[in-house]
């Protein structure tokens, strides 16, 4: 990695052994443990505007998911090592190593998919769960296939190796910055700290991590979707309190249901939540409203 700005001054740094290799994490604060899981195509840096405030009330852990940021990049085929179930086990390993058996989770985007699968698989470990701008994977695929949600990257990134890897590698900044621009409320990168963007560019400029991103989405199109369907078939539910926060300009309920409605209909019948005035990147585009909502719930 190049020399990048430290956006978490005062946070301890950890390299923690897991089945995937070493997972990178930062931590600080005191109080009940809370882990923050980032989304695609970002890293733990996406929490730099929220984590310090949350650390005034909680012991905060931010971590790079496998394949992202500074964490290990296990070589995989057909998404096998990037299922959300496997990535959830990394979270358990990190938190256990740091001395936390039961903890709160806030997840955004792909990190939220890891978070809700972890809550379903290991209910005894999760005290509270907050999910940012996400709906269940199986529900998203239904919407995409019905033409009800514009997300061509889901199909593109899940195509067989090496088609998307090769195409993205020809211009990773153009591809990923184009997605972030499209998903932001202002349709620009103006809301993002330039130092954070440098971290993101360093990650997605690595061909190994581009492959990991694709494997993440290949898992989403196969094993993750199947696992969701299996859980729904047996009426599995998240047993801890759940909060759903969604953006006004990305997951805006254009299918006739709000994201909160979808979660109540599927895995979290007692969920609470609200819309945040923002694009997809709530923690960076509107950290004040997002932080206030999270603190009120957590």
Spatial contact of 237 and 267, defined as CB atoms under 8 Å apart: yes
- B/e letters for 147-182, b = 16+ CB within 10 Å, e = fewer, are eebeeebbeebbeeeeebbeebbeebeebbbeebee
State how far the Cα of 237 lies from the Cα of 235, in Å rounded to an integer: 6
State how far the Cα of 109 lies from the Cα of 68, in Å rounded to an integer: 13
Alpha-carbon distance values, 99 to 36, 102, 192 (Å): 16, 9, 33
Residue in the block written with tokens 């443990």 = 33
What is the SS3 assignment for 114? helix
State how far the Cα of 94 lies from the Cα of 107, in Å rounded to an integer: 15
Q: Among 65, 64, 61, 106, which residue's Cα sits nearest to residue 82?
A: 65
Computed on alpha carbons and rounded to an integer, the radius of gyration of the chain in Å comes to 17
**Annotated catalytic residue: which of 38, 153, 211, 280?**
280
State how far the Cα of 240 lies from the Cα of 103, in Å rounded to an integer: 11
Query: Cα–chain-centroid distance for residue 99?
Result: 23
Q: Among 295, 230, 292, which residue's Cα sits nearest to residue 31?
A: 295
Q: Among 252, 268, 245, 168, which residue's Cα sits nearest to residue 211?
A: 168
Active site residue 109: yes
**Annotated catalytic residue: which of 38, 48, 108, 109?**
109
Q: Which residues are catalytic?
A: 109, 280
């Amino acid at each position: 990695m190049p020399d990048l700005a430290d956006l978490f001054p005062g946070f301890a740094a950890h390299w923690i052994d897991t089945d995937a290799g070493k997972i990178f994490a930062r931590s600080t604060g005191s109080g009940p443990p809370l882990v923050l899981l980032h989304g695609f195509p970002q890293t733990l840096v996406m929490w730099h505007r929220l984590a310090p405030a949350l650390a005034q009330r909680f012991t905060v852990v931010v971590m790079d998911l496998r394949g992202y940021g500074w964490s290990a990049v296990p070589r995989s085929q057909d998404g096998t090592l990037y299922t959300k179930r496997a990535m959830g086990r990394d979270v358990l390993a990190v938190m256990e190593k740091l001395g936390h058996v039961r903890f709160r989770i806030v997840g955004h985007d792909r990190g939220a998919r890891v978070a809700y699968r972890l809550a379903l698989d290991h209910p005894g470990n999760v005290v509270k769960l907050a999910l940012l701008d996400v709906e269940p994977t199986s529900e998203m695929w239904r919407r995409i296939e019905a033409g009800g949600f514009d997300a061509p990257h889901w199909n593109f990134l899940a195509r067989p190796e090496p088609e998307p890897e090769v195409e993205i590698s020809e211009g990773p900044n153009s591809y990923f910055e184009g997605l972030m621009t499209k998903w932001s409320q202002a349709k620009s990168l103006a809301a993002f700290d330039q130092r954070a963007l440098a971290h993101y560019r360093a990650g997605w400029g690595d061909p190994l991590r581009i492959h990991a991103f694709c494997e993440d989405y290949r898992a989403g199109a196969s094993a993750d979707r199947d696992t969701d369907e299996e859980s729904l078939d047996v009426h599995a539910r998240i047993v801890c309190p759940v909060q759903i926060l969604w953006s006004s300009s990305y997951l805006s309920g254009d299918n006739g249901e709000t994201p909160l409605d979808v979660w109540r209909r599927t895995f979290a019948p007692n969920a609470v939540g609200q819309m945040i005035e923002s694009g997809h990147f709530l923690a960076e585009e509107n950290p004040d409203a997002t932080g206030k909502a999270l603190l009120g719930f957590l």
